Amino acid sequence: MIWFKIGGNMDLPKVIHDTGDIRYRAPFGAVQRGSEVHLSIRIESGTPQWVQLRFWKEKSGEKIKEAVPSGKGDGFWHSTVTLNTPGVYWYYFIICIDGNVFYYSRKNNTDFGEGFLSSDPMHSFQLTVYEHFTVPKWYSESVMYQIFPDRFHRVLDQIPEHYDEMYDQIKINNRVFLINKKAEDVPSYRRDPSTGFLTNDDYFGGNLRGIIEKLDYLQSLGISTVYLNPIFEAFSNHRYNTGDYLKIDPLLGDMETFKELCREGKKRGISFILDGVFSHTGSDSIYFNKDGRYPDLGAYQSKDSKYHPWYCF
C-alpha cells in the first residue's frame, strides 16, 4: 500500500487495486468476449466524493464509469464492465477526495499486482479479451516436454558442412559460431568487448536430426507434445532474436528435416508446438537489418523499407 504527502501536512488515503486478487478484479486474467468483469478499488482512509473507472480500447474510444461504494463500510468501490470485442483494453481509477483528484495506475515496471496513487494518470492496467475457442483435445490431455534445441541432442553427421573441427567453430553468413564438442563442456560466457553485451554464440550443436533420433525415448516417457524453443534462423544460441521467420536455422537443419520430424512424431502420437516469437525480431534480421547482413532494405536502414511500419522509432 502506498502513502503520499501533500505539502507535508495532508496524508493521502491508503488505496489498493490488485489485478491478481479476485476481490479487486474478477474473473482473474484474460477473459472471454462478452464476459462481465468486476473491477474494484479499496480506499482505507479518507472520504472520497466519487470514484470513476476510465477504460478504453485503442482506436475504439474511451468510457468513464462511475464506481459505487459497497455500502458495507469496508472501503470498497465497485464498477462492472462488459467487453464484447476481442482485444487489449486499458484502465485506471480516478478518485476525488476533499476536492482533490488523484489517479490509481499501474506501476511502470510491473504488469501484475498492485498499482500506485499519483496526482497524474500514469501507466494503465491491461485487460485482455479473447474470442471463444475450445482447446484441442490433443493439447488439453497431453503430457508436454520442452526442448531447447541446441542443448538437447545432436547427430554429428548433421552438423553443417561449414564446421571447422580444428577450431570447433562454424562459419555461416560471415559469422562464427563456437561448437562445444562434449555435453559436459562448460558453456562460454563471453561479452562483446565493444558493446559489453553477451554474445550467446557458443553452441553445443543440438539439431533437429538429434530430436528425431530421440523420439522413441520421448515416446517411452509418455510424451505426446513437444514444445520447441525457437528454431528459425537467428544469430544466437537461444534464437529469440529471429533473423528470418521463413527459414529453419541452418545449424539445426532445414525445412525437409523439420517436415520429417513432424512426420515421425505423428507416427508416435507426438505433436509439436513452435515458440514463434512473433512479437519481436532480432536487430540482425532481414526485417531490421541493423548489421546489413541481408540484401533486403531493413527498417533500420531506411523509412522506405517495407518493414519500417513494424517498428517504433
Give the model confidence (pLDDT) of 194-253 as tens digits: 888 777 777 888 999 999 999 999 999 999 999 999 999 998 899 999 999 999 998 899
Give the model confidence (pLDDT) of 82-115 as tens digits: 999 999 999 999 999 878 899 999 987 777 889 8
**Whole domain around residue 195: which residue ranges?**
137-280
Domain termination site, one of 78, 96, 130: 130
The verdict on 15 and 57 lying in the same domain is yes
The verdict on 123 and 36 lying in the same domain is yes
The verdict on 111 and 153 lying in the same domain is no
Domain tally for the chain? Answer: 2
Domain termination site, one of 74, 108, 130: 130
Cis peptide before 27 (omega within 30 of 0): yes
pLDDT of residue 91: 95
Query: 292: part of which helix (H) or strand (E)?
Result: none
What span, in angstroms and rounded, lies between the C-alpha atoms of 260 and 251?
A: 16
The verdict on 160 and 248 lying in the same domain is yes
CATH number, domain containing residue 242: 3.20.20.80
Give the DSSP letter string of 147-207: E-GGGT---GGGS-TTEETTTTEEEETTEEEEE-SSTTSPPP--B-TTT--B---EE----
The verdict on 149 and 112 lying in the same domain is no
The verdict on residue 313 lying in a domain is no
Contact predicate 123/142, CB 8 Å: no
Give the model confidence (pLDDT) of 274-293 as tens digits: 999 999 999 999 999 999 98
The verdict on 210 and 90 lying in the same domain is no
The verdict on 256 and 197 lying in the same domain is yes
What span, in angstroms and rounded, lies between the C-alpha atoms of 169 and 188?
A: 13
CATH number, domain containing residue 53: 2.60.40.10
